[in-house]
Structure formats: structure tokens, C-alpha cells
Structure 1
């Protein structure tokens, strides 16, 4: 469940999450019989014994300014990928902003450790290849729970492979790519620490996480203005932006 940091969204009605969920066939999740055991494995084994302890240790020994610089560094590394995807989505303005951010932060910002571009009004434009495929009309495909990775869909898994493996490999070695991925994963899990109560207190965490995931994907695909059939109540934005 630890993808790169993304913009927040409005989602789920909390009162609805507090009710006993009714198990029914979900067309988005035809592989639920496989996904649920994988979710349990991710949460009860990998997260409980590896990722959460690593995140707690990371918080304990890493000063906040250092954590901020690491986030800036990994975000800056993704700027060229963001720019390529923005261009593929016919967003030349966003592509230009990401290129400018990369140039400014890599130089003046000392390899991206400091987000100087933001102080100049160049806000990060987060775009990925999963969104690009969505803009091109490719559907979500089946919901997937990936061991050690978390929720995804057939479309977004393809996009993540392109964004996190194919494109970075052009500039980074395999060990460097793995290190960057690990930094992002631990930081994202650390950021979720204060929000995990929402998941733990839901009566069916699997359904809760799946619904939040699809709401977030819809938010990203429509650049923060998804079509709304019913007016949702406010949901905790920090949880969504660090999922």
C-alpha cells in the first residue's frame, strides 16, 4: 500500500465504514478469493514484522529535516518521469513545470535535497504512467493485492513497472533503483503511522482499503476534480495522500 506520495482527495463516508459491511460480488475485484489471503499476509506478516518496525526505527533515528530532504530527493528523481507522463497526457504546462523543478532542484537545491523550486512557485505535478493509460482510455482491470507491495490494478501495476523500473533504469543502476524504492516505502509507511487507526478500526479493513484506493485513483485521474454522484463527507486527507 506504499506507493509514491500523491495529492489528497475526498472519499468514503465514514459513517458507512462504521457499519457492518455486506459481502457481495464486487466487479472490480474478481480475484477477491486470492486477494484477501495476500492482504492478510501483507498486513499480518510483512507489515507487522518488517515494514512497520522499520518505519518506527526510521522515525526514531532520523531527524525531521533529514526526512524532509530524503522526500525531496526521491521526489526530484521522479520529476523527469512526471514530466514525460504529463506530456503523454497532453499537459505541456505541467510537463514544463516538472522539467523546471528538476533543473532548479538538482542544481540550486543540491541534487534535490532542498525543494527550492517550490519557493519559486513551481509546485510538484505528480503524474504516473497508470494515469497516462487511464487518460488514454484504458480501464482499471482487476483489483490486485500484490505481496510486499499492496493494492493495485492491472492498469496501475503496468504503470508502476514503467515508472519505477523501466524509466529509472535508464539513469539509475539496479541497486540504486532498489534503494530509492526502499526509501520511498519506509517514508510512506512512517507517514501513515498516525493514520493507521482508521484502517484498524474498520470492520472490514480489506474492503475499507480497497474503497479508499479506488477513490484515490479516481481523484488522481481527474486531477483532483473527480465526477461526484453523491456529495461525500470529508475524509482524512493525510491517510489518502500517503497510501
Structure 2
């Protein structure tokens, strides 16, 4: 979620800067097309990408979303909080192990 908000803020700030007429310079990146060449719309993977996207959308619509809604409806909030904390603690284990390996005992706890 943090990365999503950062991306939104960055794109809004770039849009505002562009709207105010600020010139960001003509810096080029390795991904810029050479001048005078037209971009190609050929994507050799387009067909398979569209099929995979359609499969994912169907799976989400008919299986995952109903399962998530059923879980929310059938699960008491205290149990849902317990499950959430359990998985957050598993995620924190990696950070704690890293602190132990760096011999930073104060951060490991």
C-alpha cells in the first residue's frame, strides 16, 4: 500500500510540475526511442498476455472475490485480527533474524 501511495504522489507531482510549465530538461534514458523513429506497436506476447489477463480476471471474479467476501462474512472480527497479526509476526521474523545476524540485539526484540 505504501508503494501505491508513493507512486500516486509522484505521478501527481509530475503532472502538477508539467502543468506549471516547468522544464525538466531533455534528459534521455536508455528506454527512449531514437529521434526520427516511430514507436512500434508490435508486441509478440500480446495474444498470450490477453489470454492470461482474461483468465486472471475470470478467476478473480468467480472464485477469489466470492471466497474473500465469504471469509469476511463468516469470520468474527477478533479472529480476523488474530490471523492478521499472525501473518504480520511471520513477516517480522525475517527482520528479527536479520538483526540477530548483524548482532544488533536491541533491534532483534
More helix by share: 2
TM-score w.r.t. length of structure 1 = 0.26
Find the structure with the greater CA-based Rg.
2
TM-score w.r.t. length of structure 2 = 0.50
